[in-house]
Amino acid sequence: MSPLLGRHLLGVEDLDGREGIEAVMRLTDSFVEVSERAIPKVPALRGKTVAWLFYEDSTRTRLSFETAAKRLSADTMNFSVSSSSVKKGESLRDTARTIEAMGIDAIVVRHSSAGAPHRISGWVDAAVVNAGDGWHQHPTQALLDAYTIRQHLGSVEGHHIAIIGDIKHSRVARSDVAAFTTLGARVTLVAPPTLLPPSLEGWPVTVSHDLDAVLPTVDVAYLLRMQRERMTEALVPSLREYTATFGLTRRRAELLSPDALVMHPGPMNRGVEIAAEVADLPCSLILDQVRNGVAVRMAVLYLLLGAGADLVPPALDRTQEPEAVRA
Amino acid sequence: MAERERRQAPPYGGVFRARTRVMDSDDVQRAVWRMAHEVIEANHGTDDLVLVGLQTGGVPVAEALAGALGSISGAEVALGSLDVAFYRDDIGLRPVLPEAVTDIPWSLDGRTVVLCDDVLFTGRTIRAALNALSDYGRPRAVQLAVMVDRGHRELPIRPDYVGKNLPTRRDEVVDVHPEGVDLGEMVR
Amino acid sequence: MPDPHSIVVKGGRVVDASGEREADVVVVDGRIAAVGADLSADRTLDAAGCFVAPGLVDLHSHLREPGKEEAETVETGARGAALGGYTAILAMPNTTPAIDCEAVVRQVLDLGRAAPCDVLTSGAITVGRAGEQLAPMAEMAALGVRVFTDDGAGVQDNLLMRRAMEYAVGLGVILAQHCEDDALCGGGHMHEGEWSARLGIPGQPAEAEELMVMRDIALARLTGCRIHFQHLSTARSVAMVRDALAAGLPVTAEATPHHLTLTDAACASYDPVFKVNPPLRTPADVEAVRAGLADGTIATIATDHAPHAPETKELPFDLAPPGMLGLETALALALTELDLSVQQVLAALSWNPARILGIDDVHGAVAEGRPANLCVIDPEHTWTVSGAAMASRSTNTPYEGREVRGKVRHTVLHGEPVVVAGEAQR
């Protein structure tokens, strides 16, 4: 619908490279301003309906999208799918088309399976927004992370960002790597080899297994959530050992340069990947991320549903020679 | 720059070609000073006055008017800007992206707002601006200053201060820029 | 039912293991009565411009009956096979219930008797294919079952596999293995590598297959049992089989059309039509499997024809079942995509698998006195693959929309033209 964004937002690559991501961030500036108003609501998407199709519990992301849609005056409806109906093998296509038949304009999908939003986008006319699919991507998280870094450091370009923890199972990491590197940041992945993807072919990143060595060099330390079930899969011996080697403890936080920032997509496991007191340091942007999440999602929904087609910048001919002017 | 009007005039994505210069820079200056005097006369001074320029073409008009008001009254007049993209009634029908971030850093409660724009045409932008303003508070009054009123209203909206009344054809485009005001059309 | 009249397959070029020659083939009473120049009969099947080959033999068909008749039945699977040029197919035992005892073997063979293609069945190695207890192999062998496999899964337990192989030696049957170490697969849904990492789909490493190939080669050495490796997909698997053959061990191997033509990059569409076990591998693996086929390490192309009802593929990649259709496209893909002579393609699709299965007295040759199981192939006929146009009850072909060259014009089963001019006759 907009040249900044295709008909759907399924992954960071749907944004038109660096230019597209930056355009979304500029639009986000406008929605940050809207969010700060006495009445933080605009009528932009009046009459549009956005549906949540969440196959996975996520109060935070759903709330963030819902707030975004409501601040744009869109109507919202919730189609929460019990995991049991997934187990029953209910056709994803049937579900998606059922929702669309109710006359909705956008479907925000979260699914524990990678690619579920891709599949849905092939079956419906509505815009599909990926709100997290399996280990694959979570593009609005990457946009809000990039926006938050830009807000605090002026830009993403030229900065060194360490993404620390369970990269292998993290859709956030996949989207962040794509967004940060597209915007010109240097990214280092820090994790034990068991928590790295099986191949990093084509990922423009460096890898380290030594957090202490990396921390003094970073502008942003981005911590990922360490899920308890990883212990049973023999990926790390124990949470205690994980914290000892890859947790941002109080002691480790002192290795960070004074201007370095700490980020986390939430929800945090305080005391595991991040010490409680580190999460509450002034350099921690965790609540800024949440705040910016609403504005970024407003920008995405607005681009998909509002901004209209064929956005061509107007040209001006002062020379009476239209051919000489960009048309 | 009447970018908004050019953007919204068919053919979209075309090129504006000026045909006639209807005001030169001196004409514009004189109009600004006249409007400033009218604003002061109507409001008995500049107390509680807020100028809000509509992004982007109205911003230089508001700035010029604020400068003139400041010179006349000796007091600085509050100056803000407003982007109405999210309030337009044609979202989804054509490209509507904000051109700049709205900047109204104060409450409008109880103040008199003078909305400033370069060209008044259908009135739909002003309608959107009135809606937007109400999200920043409850002004005592809202007035409208435009450099050019070109007619063709589609809504019951009337300017309080006008630089120039300019009869136009519907398919013409008015371009307000630093050197003056041009009348022309969009071409492919 | 043999045609009461004589038939001549006229104007084609006869191809079988003995070579190629221009000849007409006359069929009387279900057998080949004559092969030679300018023959005539009551009925003529035009074979001008065509190869007249022995009917194809597939060692790996999932016919889904009993249990999943919405996906395929013995009848529809066999019809698709006939249209694909096959005159014999081997049903896999992962039905519901599994083909693991005399009763289910009988049911499948009975269903196959009326089918437009000879339907043989494999039997499960273990009861319910659960990998815990040996199935009554002798009772099934007595009904003619010659191949035992737990296909869909590999036999995980080393000792149990050893016992099965020892027992099979006594029965003179072959064990066929679906090589996949379940634990190492670890819930993977595609090949583990660059693409799985990028797509966020849990992967299964090539080593999961290779470990079991390695083990079974060792057990073949230990027991002397003939083992057939199903759907080999990795370069190192092919290399191990090559070495085992060189060492004189009793092993054979098959490769599927999809492991010869598709790579894991196809999974980027997230369309589970590209989900299969073992998974689509890297371009280097495809090259190695092709080389293995070309040098004879891999004796046969087997389809692993695995129909799934459409709704089961309308799911996210990891939730959909693995498997793809194969019977109606295998020949055309081999002719179109592989750099092999017609002779080599037909060896892999016809007489080699007939020999492995021990039915080379009935299938796999065009010679006087032999049962008339023939397939007439127009090598220049180009057509576009369409799942909806297939005889299968399912449509899950990964080649949808692909243009391929080479089409079966006629198929003759025991003297009966079951496919004439590309149309199934029953």
CB A275 within 8 A of CB A193: no
Domain of C391, CATH number, reads 2.30.40.10
Structure confidence at residue B100 (pLDDT): 81
Residue C1 placed within a domain = no
Is the confidence at residue B107, as pLDDT, over 90?
Answer: no
What ipTM score was computed for the predicted complex, to two decimals?
0.89
Of C331, C357, C383, the one marking the end of a domain is: C357
Mean pLDDT over the full length of chain A: 89
Predicted confidence (pLDDT) per residue in C343-382, tens digit: 999 999 999 999 999 999 999 999 999 999 999 999 999 9
Contact B15 A312 (CB under 8 A): no
Our answer on whether A and C touch (3+ beta-carbon pairs < 8 Å) is: yes
Domain of C319, CATH number, reads 3.20.20.140
Same domain, C156 and C272: yes
Contact A312 B98 (CB under 8 A): no
CA distance linking residue C149 with residue C140, whole number of Å: 12
Same domain, C81 and C34: no
Q: How confident is the model at residue B85 (pLDDT cuts 50, 70, 90)?
A: confident
Angle at which helices B25-43 and B58-73 cross, to 10°: 60
Structure confidence at residue A83 (pLDDT): 57
Are the folds of A12-136+289-310 and A139-285 the same?
yes
Is the confidence at residue C184, as pLDDT, over 50?
Answer: yes
**Angle at the Cα of C15 from the Cα atoms of C54 and C357, rounded to 5 degrees:** 35
The 3-state secondary structure of chain A reads CECCECCCECCHHHECHHHHHHHHHHHHHHHHHHHCCCCCCCCCCCCCEEEEEECCCCHHHHHHHHHHHHHCCCEEEEEECCHHHHHCCCCHHHHHHHHHHCCCCEEEEEECCCCHHHHHHCCCCCEEEEEEECCCECHHHHHHHHHHHHHHHCCCCCCEEEEECCCCCCHHHHHHHHHHHHCCCEEEEECCHHHCCCCCCCCCCEEECCHHHHHHHCCEEEECCCCHHHCCCCCCCCHHHHHHHHCECHHHHCCCCCCCEEECCCCCCECCCECHHHHCCCCECHHHHHHHHHHHHHHHHHHHHCCCCCCCCCEEECCCCHHHCCC
Which residue of chain C has the CA closest to A234? C186
Tokens coding C109? 């063979």
End-to-end CA, chain C: 12
CA distance linking residue A322 with residue B15, whole number of Å: 6
Structure pTM?
Answer: 0.90
Is the confidence at residue B39, as pLDDT, over 80?
Answer: yes
- Report the gap between the CA of A325 and the closest CA in chain B (Å): 8
Which residue of chain B has the CA closest to A306? B92
Of C307, C336, C357, the one marking the end of a domain is: C357
Tokens coding C388? 């909806």
Is the confidence at residue A314, as pLDDT, over 70?
Answer: no
Give the best residue of C199, C207, C269, C271 to mutate against chain A (max A CB count within 10 A).
Answer: C199
What is the full DSSP assignment across B124-184? HHHHHHHHHHHTT---SEEEEEEEEE----SSS---SEEEEE----TTEEEEEETTEEEEE
Residue listed under structure tokens 């030169």: B24
Out of B101-115, C159-173, C408-422, least confident range: B101-115
Our answer on whether B and A touch (3+ beta-carbon pairs < 8 Å) is: yes
What is the full DSSP assignment across C278-329? SPP--HHHHHHHHHHHHTTSS-EE---B----HHHHSS-GGGSPP-B--TTT
Domain span including residue C87: 55-357
Q: CB of B175 within 8 Å of any CB in chain A? A: yes
Predicted confidence (pLDDT) per residue in C22-50, tens digit: 999 999 999 999 999 999 999 999 999 99
Q: Which tops the pLDDT comparison, A319 or C280?
A: C280
List chains touching B (3+ CB pairs under 8 A): A
Strands C51-54 and C374-384: antiparallel
Is the confidence at residue C262, as pLDDT, over 50?
Answer: yes
Of C307, C328, C357, the one marking the end of a domain is: C357
Same domain, C296 and C390: no
Which long-range contacts link C363-366 to residues 24+ away (Cβ below 8 Å)? C363/C54, C363/C55, C363/C57, C363/C87, C363/C88, C363/C118, C364/C16, C364/C17, C364/C54, C364/C55, C364/C57, C365/C16, C365/C17, C365/C18, C365/C54, C366/C14, C366/C15, C366/C16, C366/C25, C366/C32, C366/C35, C366/C52, C366/C53, C366/C54
The stretch C129-151 carries a mean pLDDT of 97
Q: Which domains does chain B have, with CATH numbers?
A: 21-187 (3.40.50.2020)
Residue listed under structure tokens 């599909």: A128
Q: Give the sheet arrangement for strand A206-208, strand by strand.
A: A206-208, A186-190, A160-164, A220-223, A261-263
Same domain, C198 and C154: yes
Structure confidence at residue B11 (pLDDT): 72
Same domain, C331 and C404: no
Q: Which residue numbers of C are catalytic?
A: 304
Q: CB of B97 within 8 Å of any CB in chain A? A: yes
Please, is A182 exposed, middle or buried when counting C-beta atoms within 10 Å of its C-beta (0-12, 13-18, 19+)?
buried
Same domain, C255 and C380: no
Question: What homologous superfamily does CATH list for A139-285?
Answer: Aspartate/ornithine carbamoyltransferase (3.40.50.1370)
The stretch C6-19 carries a mean pLDDT of 96
Structure confidence at residue A294 (pLDDT): 97
Same domain, C294 and C385: no
Same domain, C122 and C25: no
Structure confidence at residue A311 (pLDDT): 41
Q: CB of A36 within 8 Å of any CB in chain B? A: no
Contact C271 A119 (CB under 8 A): yes
Structure confidence at residue A312 (pLDDT): 39
End-to-end CA, chain A: 20
Predicted confidence (pLDDT) per residue in A35-45, tens digit: 988 889 999 99
Contact A310 B12 (CB under 8 A): yes
Q: C177 forms bridges with which residues in the sheet?
A: C229
Structure confidence at residue B187 (pLDDT): 85
CB A77 within 8 A of CB A51: yes
Structure confidence at residue B137 (pLDDT): 87
Is the confidence at residue C88, as pLDDT, over 50?
Answer: yes
CA distance linking residue C356 with residue C60, whole number of Å: 12
Predicted confidence (pLDDT) per residue in A152-206, tens digit: 999 999 999 999 999 999 999 999 999 999 999 999 999 999 999 999 999 999 9
The stretch C97-102 carries a mean pLDDT of 97
Out of A93-97, A277-281, C148-152, least confident range: A93-97
Q: CB of B13 within 8 Å of any CB in chain A? A: yes
Buried b (16+ CB within 10 A) or exposed e, A68-84: bbbbbebebeebebeee
- Report the gap between the CA of A257 and the closest CA in chain C (Å): 32
Same domain, C17 and C104: no
CB A2 within 8 A of CB A309: yes
Structure confidence at residue A89 (pLDDT): 63
Is the confidence at residue B1, as pLDDT, over 70?
Answer: no
* Residue C188 DSSP SS3: coil
- Report the gap between the CA of A12 and the closest CA in chain C (Å): 12
**Angle at the Cα of C180 from the Cα atoms of C175 and C184, rounded to 5 degrees:** 150
Predicted confidence (pLDDT) per residue in A250-283, tens digit: 999 999 999 999 999 989 999 999 999 999 999 9
Structure confidence at residue C138 (pLDDT): 98
What is the full DSSP assignment across B57-86? THHHHHHHHHHHHHHHHSSPPEEEEE--GG
Which chain A residues are within 8 Å of B98, Cβ to Cβ? 27, 30
Is the confidence at residue C15, as pLDDT, over 50?
Answer: yes
Residue C176 placed within a domain = yes
Which residue of chain A has the CA closest to C201? A114
CB A167 within 8 A of CB A197: yes
Q: How confident is the model at residue A325 (pLDDT cuts 50, 70, 90)?
A: very low
Q: How confident is the model at residue C314 (pLDDT cuts 50, 70, 90)?
A: very high
Same domain, C335 and C386: no
Query: Would you list the domain boundaries of chain A?
Result: 12-136+289-310, 139-285
Which chain C residues are within 8 Å of A174, Cβ to Cβ? 198, 200
CA distance linking residue A8 with residue A170, whole number of Å: 21
CA distance linking residue C423 with residue C201, whole number of Å: 41
Size of interface A-B (CB pairs under 8 A): 99
Total domains in chain C come to 2
Structure confidence at residue C258 (pLDDT): 98
Q: CB of A101 within 8 Å of any CB in chain B? A: no
Peptide bond between residue C257 and the one before it cis (omega within 30 degrees of 0): no
Which residue of chain A has the CA closest to C186? A233
The stretch A104-113 carries a mean pLDDT of 94
Residue C14 placed within a domain = yes
The overall longest dimension of chain B from CA atoms, in Å, is 48
Closest by Cα among C140, C73, C151 to C100: C140
A12-136+289-310 belongs to which CATH class?
A: alpha beta
CA distance linking residue C328 with residue C84, whole number of Å: 4
Is the confidence at residue B90, as pLDDT, over 80?
Answer: no
Same domain, C111 and C216: yes
Same domain, C48 and C59: no
Mean pLDDT over the full length of chain C: 97
CA distance linking residue A46 with residue C87, whole number of Å: 64
Contact B17 A39 (CB under 8 A): no
Structure confidence at residue C1 (pLDDT): 46
CB A138 within 8 A of CB A13: no
Q: B143 forms bridges with which residues in the sheet?
A: B114
Structure confidence at residue A318 (pLDDT): 45
